[in-house]
């Protein structure tokens, strides 16, 4: 197989949205010379990411880890893709065993998710819709503890970390600042990526100062995303990667449809337009960045 034109460094073809045609979707990306890293969010999706990667000799890889929303039992509706989380604790030994598979190139996605904190309900069988949510500070503490454990696992195995960060509507920067402080105290030895970055230039610089990469999704193509495009102009191409977060965040002209790794080209082309450089330059540099970070 040829060297890739692009690498979608964060997709979820291991999710139920691709249950019927996941292999076809991955093959479609490979035919466009696009490599894919499937990212786990809990035990089951992490295993499926590995199983999917093992079907291909090259060009499909896995990252395993526990997403912060899966620490609590709740119902989630991401872009009308409904699913339930069961409240999983991070099992260091189980994830270590998975992460030692040769197809696993990183740990994650792990991090802080404050977006739904007010909506989380208690993990009790008799919970009612109007029950007061779990204590927010306790939830944040659980997220921090799980994140630190996963950074420690990544450091033990010398693998990079895929960081997830989503702030609350009330405090659009709080989760980012909390993550920055955690990373300062628990630095990932093999580096890492801030996936689906949507913060400000000032926050971007703080992550760059920590030696991390920033990756961008189809959001950069949205009409109302000019502030994010300003960040894209600011971030050096040498610290940037591209992703889809499929099945979510489909770029124009696919908004409202299921996103897939082949769509990463549209994000790369928009980045080239925003930066005033060629698509080929964006593709070459972001691919090289991914190959360096994930040792592909």
Look up the pTM and report it. Answer: 0.92
- 109 labeled part of a ligand binding site: yes
What is the per-residue pLDDT across 98-141, written as a single tens digit (0 to 9) for each?
999 999 999 999 999 999 775 554 554 555 444 445 688 999 99
- 12 labeled part of a ligand binding site: yes
> Which of these, 159, 14, 17, lies nearest to 82 by C-alpha position?
17
What's the rounded Cα separation, in Å, for the pair 165 and 173? 10
Q: Say if domain 6-294 classifies as CATH 3.40.30.10.
A: no
- 263 labeled part of a ligand binding site: no
Which range has the worst mean pLDDT, 74-83, 195-204, 210-219, 274-283? 74-83
- 131 labeled part of a ligand binding site: no
Q: Which residues pair with 78 in a beta bridge?
A: 81
Q: In degrees, to the nearest 5, what angle opens at C-alpha 262 toward C-alphas 259 and 265? A: 105
- 164 labeled part of a ligand binding site: yes
What is the per-residue pLDDT across 50-106, written as a single tens digit (0 to 9) for each?
999 999 999 999 999 999 999 987 765 554 455 567 789 999 999 999 999 999 999
């Amino acid at each position: 197989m040829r060297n890739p034109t692009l690498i979608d460094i964060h997709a979820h073809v291991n999710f139920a949205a691709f249950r019927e045609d996941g292999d076809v979707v991955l093959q479609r990306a490979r035919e466009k010379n696009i490599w894919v890293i499937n990212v786990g969010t809990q035990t089951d999706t992490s295993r499926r990411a590995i199983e999917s990667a093992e079907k291909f000799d090259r060009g499909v890889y896995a990252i395993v880890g526990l997403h912060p929303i899966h620490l609590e039992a709740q119902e989630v509706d991401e872009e009308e893709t409904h699913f339930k989380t069961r409240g999983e604790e991070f099992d260091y030994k189980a994830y270590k065993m998975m992460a030692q598979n040769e197809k696993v190139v990183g740990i994650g996605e792990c991090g802080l998710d404050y977006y739904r904190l007010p909506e989380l309900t208690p993990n009790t069988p008799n919970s009612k819709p109007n029950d007061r949510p779990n204590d927010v500070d306790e939830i944040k503490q659980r997220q921090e503890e799980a994140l630190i454990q996963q950074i420690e696992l990544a450091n033990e195995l010398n693998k990079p970390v895929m960081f997830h960060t989503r702030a609350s509507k009330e405090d659009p920067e709080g989760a980012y600042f909390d993550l920055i402080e955690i990373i300062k105290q628990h630095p990932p030895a093999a580096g890492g990526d801030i996936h689906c970055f949507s913060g400000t230039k000032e926050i971007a610089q703080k992550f760059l100062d920590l030696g991390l990469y920033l990756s961008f999704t189809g959001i950069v193509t949205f009409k109302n995303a000019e502030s994010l495009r300003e960040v894209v102009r600011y971030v050096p191409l040498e610290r940037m990667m591209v992703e889809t977060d499929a099945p979510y965040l489909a770029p124009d002209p696919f908004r409202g449809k299921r996103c897939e790794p082949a769509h990463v080209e549209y994000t790369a082309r928009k980045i080239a337009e925003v930066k005033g450089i060629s698509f080929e330059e964006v593709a070459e540099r972001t691919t090289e960045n991914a190959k360096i970070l994930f040792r592909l």
